[in-house]
Every structure is written in C-alpha cells, then in structure tokens.
Chains A and B, each alone.
Chain A
C-alpha cells in the first residue's frame, strides 16, 4: 500500500514532464539498442569467422611426422653413458606415412566418453593433369558422412553434395581453384598422376570452396578407399586421425594423453589456432566497452534529469516529509523514477536492438569464404537480451541513487521556513 503510493508519485512526476522523461528514456533506449545490435552482430560475425576455421578443424589431429629420433644409438650404449656425445648431420629416420595401429587407436578413442567422433583420413600427393600441364595438389580421402556430421563439410561444397561422393566410387570433389585453372565442370573426368607414377581418372561430383584460396588451389576430396587406391596402399593405410570432442577444453589434456599412450604426434586445436581465440576475445572486449560507454552516457542523462527534478521538487519533498513520508520513502520515489526510465527505455532498446538486428540479418551478404552464407550473420542469443535488460536496470539504478539520496537528506524545516 505504502509502496504503491510512492510508485504513483514517481509515475506522476515523470508523466508531468513527458519531454524530459522521454529524452532520458531515449538515452537508455539508444544505449541498450546499440549494445544489442553490436553484440548480436559481433558475436554473429565471430561465430562465422570461428566457424570458418575452428568448426572445420578437428579438436585433436593425430598424424605421423618425419622427424629425427630423439634418442640416437650412441646414447643407448652403456660405454658412452657418462660422456658428452657430439653427432653431426643427423638425418631423420625413414618411417611409414601411415599411422601404426590406427584401428586400435580409433577404436580406443571411439570408446572414450569425451569423444564426439573420430574420423580417419588418407592424405596423398597428386598432380592434376590437363594436357601437358601438371598441377601440384593434395587428395584427401575422407569418411563423408562423419565429416559432414562433425565438421559441416557440406557447407563448403558448391554445385554438388557430399553424398554423391559416397555413392560414386571414383568420384572427387575438386578444389574450386583447380577447377577454374583447368576449366573443368561437374561430370568431367580429371586425370591425376599418383605418387607411384600411374594415372587415375576421377569423376567430378562437386566443387570445394573453403574461402582460403591457397587451399582451394591444392585440395580435393574423395572417399577413403579411392584415396588408398590412388596412394597405392592397402586398406590399413591411414595418414591422419581427426578427433572431435564434446568439450573443446578437454583437447589439450587429451592430446597429451594420446601422445603419451601411443608414442605418436598429435596437436590440439588451441595450440594450432591460438590466434582465433585472441581475435574473438578482443572483439568481445570492444563490443562491451562501446556498449558500457553508451550506457554510462545514458546514465548521466538520467542523473541530470533527476537532479533537476529534485531542485524543482524541493517544496514537494518537504511537504511529503512533513506529512509523514520518511527519508527512505522519498529516496524510493526517485529511485522508482530512475528505474521507470530505465525499464521503459531499456525495453524499447531491446525492441530497437532486435528490430535492427533482424534487418541486418536479412540484408544480403555474399562472401567467397562461405558459399552457403547469403545474409549477414547475426546471433539472436536470448542471453544478450537478458544482459541488456540487467545493464539497463543497474545503470539507471546507480544514476538515480545519488540524486535520490540527496532528496532523502533534504531538511524539510529549511524549506518550509525559508519562504
């Protein structure tokens, strides 16, 4: 009862000054609106950019690498154990490109509860041939269904679908750069020179466009069996194993485990792509910095209008106090006023933010990088709307708090006697 009259007084005060109140509320509207637009657009863009690399990148990649033996034979000899051995011109050991015991590793990983999926890959070097021209390149054999499920492989396919790769025995999805250079169309056969010197002809079932020109000029995809055939190897031949986890944070510890258990090379996504996380966090920082600045400016607007209101309302405050309203009641009246401005302005800001974000999200945006994206990426995560609403209430509360406290401390005797 007592609170509802305070609220009513607050409302009447604001209503009697429609112009000032709406300007103060508009400040909040623009602050919150801009926050929503910025954050939706920025995180949408972040998601797109991260997706460009991170979604397509396995969380852990297991591979074999040519390297120098860490322990040279002389160090194993007991006779030279305590001496300082100097070896010149160390050469790397010749080893197989295939991962040893790859079936065992794959099965062990598939059984792990942290793992979302495991896909083997066969990578082999080829030359794309067109007449007398030979183009250097890479042919990668993949498990199409799993790659699509785990790494959105289909997003980068133009003029075709990954399933055709599955159904066509000697099909290939050719990098768009190669296709342009050799002027090849879907359905054409492309001859490739294999590492062993033979020639295979694969049928083009689609084109691959990653947005990274250097990759598009080299890489093509086929199914694992075809790749093994091209490489001239058996069905045990697997060069890479990609692992996708449920929780990306587990990538680093799991990588260490895999290296330790299998004595093999593996790299986690964070080590391989450290720069993306930095970019994301800096973009987020900018978004929040700009939005908070806008809200603080809006807060000063509210502070200003309430301060003026309190000078105008000295008599009213004195009379309210004389008739039994306590300092706390008076304070609440002005805090309600601030919050009303904040809630009305903030709600309009959320609507404004949503509206503009929506318009952005349907605006055309063509990019080479991701052929399937036709409009600007906007993130409509409800969390940001909640953050915006909380922001609005908190800033207006603090903007109202100081003037309200001043009002609560007004000595009615001074005012009532002064005239």
Chain B
C-alpha cells in the first residue's frame, strides 16, 4: 500500500536573526487511517514540520508527497487547492470567523472548493455538526459560543471537504481536561469509524500515548517512531 504522506530528506533553516537549521533530514511515512502524534519539547521543530506538511510553509528543501503527488515546488495557488481539498486543520486557538454563524464557518472551505451546490454543502455541514454534537449551536454567531464548542466547530470545518488528512497543532492545548478528552474521543471516533488520517502535534503525553504512533522529535531530528 502506498503511504498517504511520504516525507524524504526535508531540511529547513531559519535565517533570521542567525542561520539555524531547524529540521535536519526528516524522513517519515504515514498511512491512510493512522492516528499519529508528534511530540517534543518547545523549539524542537515539531510545529515547523507540521506547517511544512500543511503546505503553508514552502521554504524548505526535500520532497513531500501526499497521495503520491509531489507537493514540493507547486505554486502557492496550486498548494491552496491541495489544502482546500485534501487537508483539514485544527489549531490550538479555534480561529473561527467571528462575523459568521457556526454553520457558515463550517461551510466556508466547501464553498471555496465549489464542487457542490450551496444546499448540498449546507446539508453536509449540518451532518458534520451533528457528528460533533453541536448542531444546536449552528445558527449562533461564532463569537457567541464557548471555547470547547468552538474547537468542535473547527473540527467540523476541517472535515467538511472529507479531506485525506486532518492536521492539528496542539488542538487540545487550550482546553480544560474535560473538553480535551472530548476532542480526543472525536479524533478517535474519526479514525475508527471513518478511517480518517490524523497528524497531531501535542506536548500532552497522555494524549499522545493513546494514539496509534508517536513521532518524537528533538533538536530538529526524529529521535523515535514508536507504536503507541
């Protein structure tokens, strides 16, 4: 089986204020349906790696494949299309658009993709909100709901285009333990029930230990890839 994501020999330097190599010869593979966490101390390069994998950071050397498609060297517009269709994001802070309703926030990436009619997208969005059990909030403005609810809306938004992979940058980092557990359970449900692939950066060992695989990083290098 071909891996979902294949990374080979990725190097990255920060040039400002002094030249520092933040990623050193990173190579890894990830399969469809896997729930992978990346751990490491602050500054070890785990977030940097995630943003390179997310296609938003293009300042690196090496090669990245998603579904056997080489992403390195594509133009920013082509990468935006890839992100839109294949990658869902969940961040530490919810990052919803405050002027729009919960439902509209979830629909936003699908409206950009433009493959379905507005009615179909709305139907999909309602389905995702049901799945995350926040359908009752759908018509509220995004600024009016609680932090835990916002993170669930963000996950619904990440799911709207049925992406190949969901990436998270400490998605539970800003939540209390109850909500963190809730988010983890949702992720778990997504992998087991829908075979969704997840790549989550975290420094919560409890969270990581429950994932399929932990990639541990230190000083810009992968130090271990152990099964959870």
**Contact residue among B77, B96, B99 (Cβ-Cβ distance under 8 Å from A12):** B99
Given contacts A2-B112, A413-B51, A416-B169, whether A318 and B95 have CB atoms under 8 Å apart is yes
Would you call B95 and A315 a contact (CB within 8 A)? Answer: yes
A16 to chain B, nearest CB (A): 4
What DSSP secondary structure best describes chain A's contact surface? helix
**CB-contacts of B35-65 with A (<8 A):** 47, 51, 54, 56-57
> What's the Cα separation between A327 and B89 when bound, in Å?
18
The interface-forming segment of B78-86, B128-136, B185-193, B203-211 is: B78-86
Most B-side CB within 10 Å, residue of A15, A320, A326: A326
Per-residue B-contact encoding for A321-335, CB less than 8 Å = 1, 0 else: 111111111000000
Q: How large is the interface on A (under 10, 10 to 19, 20 to 34, 35 or more residues)?
A: 20 to 34
Given contacts A2-B111, A315-B95, A318-B95, whether A323 and B89 have CB atoms under 8 Å apart is yes
Provide the residues of chain A in CB contact with B85, threshold 8 Å: 324
A371 interface residue, CB < 8 Å from B? no
Would you call B95 and A5 a contact (CB within 8 A)? Answer: no
A419 interface residue, CB < 8 Å from B? yes
Would you call A1 and B80 a contact (CB within 8 A)? Answer: no
Per-residue B-contact encoding for A1-42, CB less than 8 Å = 1, 0 else: 110110001001101100000000000000000000000000
Would you call A323 and B56 a contact (CB within 8 A)? Answer: no
A417 interface residue, CB < 8 Å from B? yes
Provide the residues of chain B in CB contact with A294, threshold 8 Å: none
**CB-contacts of A262-299 with B (<8 A):** none
Provide the residues of chain B in CB contact with A16, threshold 8 Å: 99
Would you call B77 and A328 a contact (CB within 8 A)? Answer: yes
A191 interface residue, CB < 8 Å from B? no
Q: Of all chain A residues, which has the CB nearest B54?
A: A322
A409 to chain B, nearest CB (A): 10
> What's the Cα separation between A3 and B47 when bound, in Å?
32
A308 to chain B, nearest CB (A): 15
Provide the residues of chain B in CB contact with A419, threshold 8 Å: 92-93
Would you call B76 and A416 a contact (CB within 8 A)? Answer: no
A360 interface residue, CB < 8 Å from B? no
Would you call B51 and A325 a contact (CB within 8 A)? Answer: no
Provide the residues of chain B in CB contact with A320, threshold 8 Å: 97, 108
**CB-contacts of A325-372 with B (<8 A):** 325-329
Would you call B169 and A324 a contact (CB within 8 A)? Answer: no
Provide the residues of chain A in CB contact with B98, threshold 8 Å: 316
B100 interface residue, CB < 8 Å from A? yes
Q: Of all chain A residues, which has the CB nearest B100?
A: A12
B157 interface residue, CB < 8 Å from A? yes
Q: Of all chain A residues, which has the CB nearest B47?
A: A417
Would you call B76 and A322 a contact (CB within 8 A)? Answer: no
**Contact residue among A318, A323, A328, A412 (Cβ-Cβ distance under 8 Å from B84):** A323
A319 interface residue, CB < 8 Å from B? yes
Would you call A324 and B113 a contact (CB within 8 A)? Answer: yes
> What's the Cα separation between A134 and B110 when bound, in Å?
96
B91 interface residue, CB < 8 Å from A? yes
A390 to chain B, nearest CB (A): 31
Per-residue B-contact encoding for A86-120, CB less than 8 Å = 1, 0 else: 00000000000000000000000000000000000
**Contact residue among B84, B91, B100 (Cβ-Cβ distance under 8 Å from A416):** B91
Provide the residues of chain A in CB contact with B57, threshold 8 Å: 413
> What's the Cα separation between A13 and B85 when bound, in Å?
25
Most A-side CB within 10 Å, residue of B57, B92, B95, B100: B95
Would you call B97 and A322 a contact (CB within 8 A)? Answer: no
Q: Of all chain A residues, which has the CB nearest B77?
A: A326
**Contact residue among A2, A318, A327 (Cβ-Cβ distance under 8 Å from B114):** A2
Provide the residues of chain A in CB contact with B96, threshold 8 Å: 319
Would you call A1 and B108 a contact (CB within 8 A)? Answer: no
B171 interface residue, CB < 8 Å from A? no
Would you call A322 and B89 a contact (CB within 8 A)? Answer: yes
Provide the residues of chain B in CB contact with A13, threshold 8 Å: 99
**Contact residue among A1, A2, A5, A324 (Cβ-Cβ distance under 8 Å from B83):** A324
Would you call B95 and A319 a contact (CB within 8 A)? Answer: yes
Would you call A326 and B95 a contact (CB within 8 A)? Answer: no
Provide the residues of chain A in CB contact with B220, threshold 8 Å: none
Would you call B93 and A325 a contact (CB within 8 A)? Answer: no
Provide the residues of chain B in CB contact with A15, threshold 8 Å: 99
A406 to chain B, nearest CB (A): 16
> What's the Cα separation between A329 and B83 when bound, in Å?
14
Would you call B56 and A326 a contact (CB within 8 A)? Answer: no
Would you call A324 and B109 a contact (CB within 8 A)? Answer: yes
Would you call B80 and A5 a contact (CB within 8 A)? Answer: no
Chain A to chain B contacts (Cβ below 8 Å), 13 pairs? A1-B114, A5-B114, A318-B95, A319-B96, A322-B89, A324-B81, A325-B84, A325-B112, A326-B80, A327-B77, A329-B80, A412-B56, A419-B93
Binding site for A on B (CB under 8 A): 47, 51, 54, 56-57, 76-77, 80-85, 89, 91-93, 95-100, 108-109, 111-114, 157, 161, 169
Which 7 residue pairs of A and B lie closest in terms of their CB atoms, listed nearest first?
A324-B84, A1-B114, A326-B80, A5-B111, A323-B109, A319-B95, A16-B99
